[in-house]
């Protein structure tokens, strides 16, 4: 497909007598859209490709999605062999298995941008773009502590057992431990609505008194809300999710009392990474380094800035 497109582009160029100075190819390798957040990553990647290719005719962006770390390693090989990429933007499925494949890309002199999940060995990538899981946990904790006045009982629903989840959880617990807030229990809800619903049902059975719920993720938060409604306990407490799902942001904008705020962990970070990488080929500005995106607290006042109704997430 991309190959025939390239051929077509070259033929078209020759036909119009245009000589391209040079075409740069940026390969983008991301996980397939298996849940809401990665769905957002896919959407933002496609948006950015359309915008950059329209703005800069000498840029070509190839997006590959993979269902597993092994598949992603194969995709990288294909991007090099078939698409002959000049730069690679990769959101690694997992850090460890993809470290060596990406290192070998770098060894070929290809520009490497790593997104979200860092590689296991330092010094491979030219550019690193990521969200800040520690800050995300801290911002969530600060809001809950402030709202409860440093006192009360909360439950925590965790994601999938991963480094990302641990960073968020540890940062959250560290701040909460300094207060009189009691964490009744924490359980994994796997960043999944159904699991959020079930775990919350059981928390409600166990604990007659809950002042706040840290759900960490917007999908989990939606399941939690349904469980609260079912039990008729959706008053006198609040839920804090995270990531920036558009339905939740809309609710924050409209003054939803059950989920009053959100903490951003933007899937749009892939767009940031592709744009920065593109700068390498369209300008001479310095870009090398690490870009850590903030995880701001989204409230009714600033929610409009983070609301993207066209995104699937």
Which residues of the shown chain bind another protein in the complex (CB under 8 A)?
Answer: 32-36, 38-40, 42-43, 158, 161, 185-188, 191-194, 197-199, 201-203, 205-206, 219, 222-223, 226, 230-231, 247, 311-313
Q: Any idea how long the chain is?
A: 313
> 132 vs 216, which CB is nearer to another protein?
216
DSSP code string of 248-312: HHHHHHTT-SSS--EEB--TTHHHHHHHHHHHHHH------EEEE---PEE-TTTGGGG--TTS-
> 101 vs 159, which CB is nearer to another protein?
159
The tokens describing 110, both together, are 């290809």
- CB contact at 8 A, 230 and 203: no
Q: How far is the CB of 10 from another protein (least distance, A)?
A: 31
Q: Is 236 helix (H, G, I), strand (E, B) or coil?
A: coil
> 128 vs 313, which CB is nearer to another protein?
313
| Beta strands at 262-263 and 297-298: parallel, antiparallel or unpaired | antiparallel
- CB contact at 8 A, 26 and 274: yes
> 147 vs 250, which CB is nearer to another protein?
250
DSSP code string of 174-189: HHHHTSEEEEEEEEE-
Q: How far is the CB of 161 from another protein (least distance, A)?
A: 7
Q: How far is the CB of 39 from another protein (least distance, A)?
A: 3
Q: How far is the CB of 246 from another protein (least distance, A)?
A: 9
> 110 vs 228, which CB is nearer to another protein?
228
Q: How far is the CB of 239 from another protein (least distance, A)?
A: 15
Enumerate residues 6+ apart whose C-beta is below 8 A from 276.
113, 127, 129, 287, 291
> 92 vs 196, which CB is nearer to another protein?
196
The tokens describing 138, both together, are 């801290």
- CB contact at 8 A, 144 and 240: yes
Q: How far is the CB of 227 from another protein (least distance, A)?
A: 9
Q: How far is the CB of 22 from another protein (least distance, A)?
A: 33
> 99 vs 162, which CB is nearer to another protein?
162
């Amino acid at each position: 497909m991309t190959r025939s497109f390239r051929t077509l582009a070259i033929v078209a160029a020759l036909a119009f007598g245009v000589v391209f100075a040079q075409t740069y190819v940026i390969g983008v390798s991301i996980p397939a859209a298996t849940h809401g957040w990665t769905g957002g990553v896919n959407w933002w990647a496609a948006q950015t490709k359309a915008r950059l290719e329209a703005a800069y005719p000498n840029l070509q962006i190839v997006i590959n999605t993979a269902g597993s770390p092994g598949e992603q390693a194969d995709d990288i090989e294909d991007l090099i062999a078939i698409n002959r990429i000049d730069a690679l933007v990769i959101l690694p499925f997992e850090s460890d298995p993809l470290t060596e494949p990406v290192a070998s890309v770098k060894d070929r002199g290809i520009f490497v941008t790593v997104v979200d999940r860092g590689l296991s060995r330092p010094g491979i990538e030219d550019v690193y773009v990521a969200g800040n899981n520690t800050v995300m946990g801290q911002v969530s904790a600060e809001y809950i502590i402030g709202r409860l006045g440093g006192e009360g009982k909360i439950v925590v629903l965790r994601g999938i057992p991963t480094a990302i989840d641990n960073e968020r959880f540890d940062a959250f617990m560290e701040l909460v431990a300094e207060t009189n807030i009691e964490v009744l229990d924490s359980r994994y809800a796997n960043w999944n609505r159904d699991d959020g619903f079930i775990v919350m049902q059981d928390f409600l059975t166990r604990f007659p008194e809950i002042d706040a719920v840290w759900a960490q993720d917007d999908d989990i938060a939606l399941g939690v809300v349904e469980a609260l409604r079912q039990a008729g306990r959706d008053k006198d407490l609040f839920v804090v999710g995270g990531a920036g799902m558009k339905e939740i942001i809309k609710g924050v904008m409209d003054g939803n009392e059950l989920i009053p705020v959100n903490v951003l962990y933007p899937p749009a970070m892939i767009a940031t990474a592709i744009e920065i990488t593109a700068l390498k080929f369209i300008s001479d500005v310095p870009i090398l380094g690490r870009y850590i995106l903030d995880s701001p607290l989204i409230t009714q006042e600033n929610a409009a800035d983070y609301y993207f109704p066209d995104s699937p997430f």
